[in-house]
Chains A and B, each alone.
Chain A
Amino acid sequence: DIQMTQSPSILSASVGDRVTITCRASQNINNWLAWYQQKPGKAPKVLIYKASTLESGVPSRFSGSRSGTEFTLTISSLQPDDFATYYCQQYESYSTFGQGTKVEIK
């Protein structure tokens, strides 16, 4: 099984901050990685797929990158609507999600 390790588990930030969330795969997954945002009581929403491709309608302040087996989701300037939990998802072999990163108000 491919394990996905996200860090940090909780991130405290302020509006306007640049925020970075990391997801490390236990083996090579090429670019088969997506990022989702989930708010309490709601279904997840896809933000990025194939490591760095922005889903249609997602603000450009969200971006994704890859370095080897490490993937990064960056929010360039945190907005009030961005306080949520973020999950990475690998789909190189079946599909597994990271354990999530909660972005909370500092």
Chain B
Amino acid sequence: QVQLQESGPGLVKPSETLSLTCSVSGGSIRSYYWSWVRQSPGKGLEWLGYIYYTGESNYNPSLESRVTLSIDTSKNQFSLKLTSVTATDTAVYYCARAGLSGKYVLDYWGQGTLVNVSS
């Protein structure tokens, strides 16, 4: 059974960089697309981007200038960096896997981690 676990600081100061890592267990990180999705408190879902084990990546155009995804196949992990954060970046951040149904259909998710942006 594939499991995903997000880790990283729960509090980030405005203008700084938010960094999160997703650890994948129960399966290889190869051969699947891996995404980050966030959900602001009481709001809907926002797809941030995906990365493939080859390094191929694709980002939400509205955030593309601030988002970078990376992947470490030796550790079975992938990561998110979001620069120049503001209070509007406060959200629960989920990592997720896209299965065989396509690059964007997310069949396994982490439990989510709340990141507050505040001084």
Question: A residues within 8 Å of B by Cβ?
Answer: 1, 32, 34, 36, 42-46, 49-50, 53, 55, 87, 89, 91, 94-100
Contacts and interface: CB of A to CB of B under 8 A. Distances in A.
Nearest to B101: A49
A46 B105 contact: yes
Contacts of A91: 102-105
Interface string B91-106: 0001010000111111
22 contacts: A1-B61, A32-B102, A34-B104, A34-B105, A36-B45, A36-B106, A42-B111, A43-B94, A43-B112, A44-B106, A49-B101, A49-B102, A87-B44, A89-B45, A89-B104, A91-B102, A94-B60, A94-B61, A97-B44, A97-B45, A98-B44, A100-B44
Closest 4 CB pairs of A and B: A43-B109, A91-B104, A95-B47, A97-B45
Contacts of A94: 47, 58, 60-61
Contacts of A45: 109
Contacts of B61: 1, 94
B47 A97 contact: yes
B107 interface: yes
A32 B101 CA distance: 11
Contacts of A99: 44
Q: Interface centre among A43, A53, A55, by most B CB within 10 Å? A: A43
Nearest to B48: A95
Judged by DSSP, the binding face of A is loop
Nearest to B35: A95
B8 interface: no
B119 interface: no
A46 B107 contact: yes
A71 B104 CA distance: 18
Interface string B56-68: 0010111000000
B77 to A, nearest CB: 18
Given A1-B62, A98-B44, A99-B44, A44 B103 contact: no
Nearest to A98: B44
A34 B104 CA distance: 9
Contacts of B101: 34, 46, 49-50, 53, 55
